[in-house]
Amino acid sequence: MPTVVVSKRDPASVLIGEYLIEKYFRKTEKAFGNYHVFEYENADLIIIDSEHIYADWLGERYPSDLYIVASRHSAESGIPCLTVHTTGNWGDALYGGKSRTLSYAPAQHMLSALKYLERRKPEGFSVSYEVTHHGPTLDAPVMFVEVGSSPEQWENEEAVAVVAEAIVASLKPESAEVAVGFGGGHYAPRFTRFALKKNVAFGHIIPKYAFNSVDEEMVRQAVEKTVPEPRYYAVHGDAGNLTEIIQRVAEEYGLERVR
């Protein structure tokens, strides 16, 4: 059963949760922590008091086969954006999760959210994947759906509603082949365009800025923890020190390169 996670520490998350509860989820007699559990079709919605990126305890305290986290996105640029990504750390765990450990990436659910965001984005907002980053690190599929990049956007009613509706859309996986991405920048523009135009669902994406932290074991994690099992891989730019490793792992797992 999927679980939508709302954090009281995140103002955008709170507003997204309020929209979901008003429009879709209904209060149950069950409780989790200090709050009721809410239900919609086959999904639960839970509210937590802690910051979601540090909620590595979720898997133990509220087991689920998919966690969809409603979240703000923060960036110094302040550019209005709507984003989707999975979690994990290519190096040290600076913002939650475990060092050099990935969660499972629910590629087809992420693509469902990405497509909805692209169709319904408010004027002036960009839509993209983000690469795999921050916590929590869970032994289950995890995805964040975010609105950003500043308090102005976190409180934008239209943007909040679009993110909430994208979360509902993501409860159903998109029918698409699955890929792992290597290279590019944090907002993965090439992989975003490819996903939307070619109907390919990306799971884990390793950005170029993380290449120096990544070894063969991490590349294997990216493949093994993308679900469903990927068929493709894509490389943006020069993979540098990872070129031979990517080729070797791709051959081992039978992945076909797409361009």
Answer whether residue 223 shows pLDDT above 90. Answer: yes
Average pLDDT over residues 174-194: 98
Each residue of 143-158: pLDDT tens digit? 999 999 999 999 999 9
Angle subtended at Cα 15 by Cα 11 and Cα 18, rounded to the nearest 5 degrees: 140
pLDDT of residue 74: 92
Displacement of CA 166 from its chain's centroid (Å): 12
Average pLDDT over residues 125-138: 98
pLDDT of residue 76: 85
Q: Tell me the backbone φ, ψ of residue 171, rounded to 5 degrees.
A: -65, -25
pLDDT of residue 7: 98
Each residue of 29-71: pLDDT tens digit? 999 999 999 999 999 999 999 999 999 999 999 999 999 999 9
pLDDT band at 229 (very low <50, low <70, confident <90, very high): very high
Question: Any idea which residue has 């135009």 for tokens?
Answer: 197
Answer whether residue 138 shows pLDDT above 90. Answer: yes
Answer whether residue 233 shows pLDDT above 90. Answer: yes
Stretch (H or E) spanning 6: strand 2-7
pTM above 0.95, yes or no: yes
Average pLDDT over residues 129-140: 98
pLDDT of residue 139: 97
The first and second tokens of residue 218, run together, are 């991490």
Q: Cβ distance 82 to 163 under 8 Å?
A: yes
Q: Cβ distance 162 to 168 under 8 Å?
A: no
Average pLDDT over residues 10-37: 98
Q: Is 26 helix (H, G, I), strand (E, B) or coil?
A: strand
Average pLDDT over residues 211-221: 97
Which CB contacts under 8 angstroms, 24+ apart, belong to 185-188? 185/131, 185/209, 186/130, 186/131, 186/133, 187/81, 187/83, 187/126, 187/128, 187/129, 187/130, 187/131, 188/128, 188/129, 188/130, 188/131, 188/236
How far lies 15's CA from each of 11, 253, 254, in Å? 6, 42, 43
Greatest Cα pair distance in the chain:
55
Average pLDDT over residues 124-128: 98
Q: At what angle do helices 189-198 and 107-120 cross, to 10 degrees?
A: 90
Domains and CATH numbers, the chain: 2-257 (3.40.630.50)
Average pLDDT over residues 88-95: 97
